[in-house]
Amino acid sequence: MRLFIAAPISNRTRLLLENQINKAQTELDFDLKWVKAKNLHLTLKFLGDTDQKKLEILKETIMNTCSNYTKFNIYYNHFEAFPSTNYPKVLYFGLNKSKKQLIKLQNELINKLYESGFEPEDREYKPHLTFARSRKSTNIRQLKYDYKTFIKDHDIRILDKIDRISLIESKLYQNGPVYREIFTNILN
């Protein structure tokens, strides 16, 4: 099973972000791979191909980690790109300082997963919500200029609440991934 752990976003936020994505699709006329609004989520840990026998350990780890947390707010307040806006391969919605609680939760989750035998993270966690990815055919040089203009011309201020953490299965198809929640833990 191809799995990841994520903080799903609310339906209200999904609609607001979909509106922003639609604007970006209109103004950034490039060969980009756009994320469908129904697939938007904040990834905490990508697990990849995982033996089904490990599902119970994953559920227990999520429950144990989440028992230390209550619902908390996050705030999307800017557009950004990986590795940078000078070389935009992945376009995303960034979070302001409200991300500290999310980073803390993710770090604790990663540590508990490592104690349970899962691979450690090889890079620092940077919470973000991906909405588009470049393709091999994307003109990155032109996208850089147009995306910077887009960022300058558009403001984003969306408040959301992290109220659950989910274990999600990802199945890849030609027309994009399909996600299925396997387990969800509601935060107090």
In tens, the pLDDT along 117-128 reads: 999 888 899 999
Q: What is the mean pLDDT of the chain?
A: 95
Phi, psi of 183 (to 5 degrees): -150, 140
Distance CA 135, CA 89 (A): 8
Q: What pLDDT is attached to residue 31?
A: 87
Distance CA 79, CA 152 (A): 9
Assigned token pair, 75? 């705030």
Q: What is the mean pLDDT of residues 166-184?
A: 95
Instruction: Print the domain residue range for 31.
Output: 2-186
Q: What is the mean pLDDT of residues 144-153?
A: 96
Q: What pLDDT is attached to residue 122?
A: 86
pLDDT exceeds 90 at position 138: yes
pLDDT band at residue 18 using 50, 70 and 90 as cut-offs: very high
Q: What pLDDT is attached to residue 29?
A: 77
Question: Which CATH number belongs to the domain containing residue 29 in this structure?
Answer: 3.90.1140.10
Assigned token pair, 48? 């990849």
In tens, the pLDDT along 26-51 reads: 999 778 999 999 999 999 999 999 99
At CA 147, angle to CA 91 and CA 43, rounded to 5?
Answer: 10
Contact between 161 and 95 under an 8 Å Cβ cutoff? The reply is no
Q: What is the mean pLDDT of residues 51-71?
A: 96
pLDDT band at residue 175 using 50, 70 and 90 as cut-offs: confident
Q: What kind and span of H or E run contains 132? A: strand 128-134
Q: What pLDDT is attached to residue 187?
A: 97
Q: Give the pTM.
A: 0.94
Q: What is the mean pLDDT of residues 80-104?
A: 96
Q: What pLDDT is attached to residue 148?
A: 96
**DSSP-assigned letter for residue 39:** G
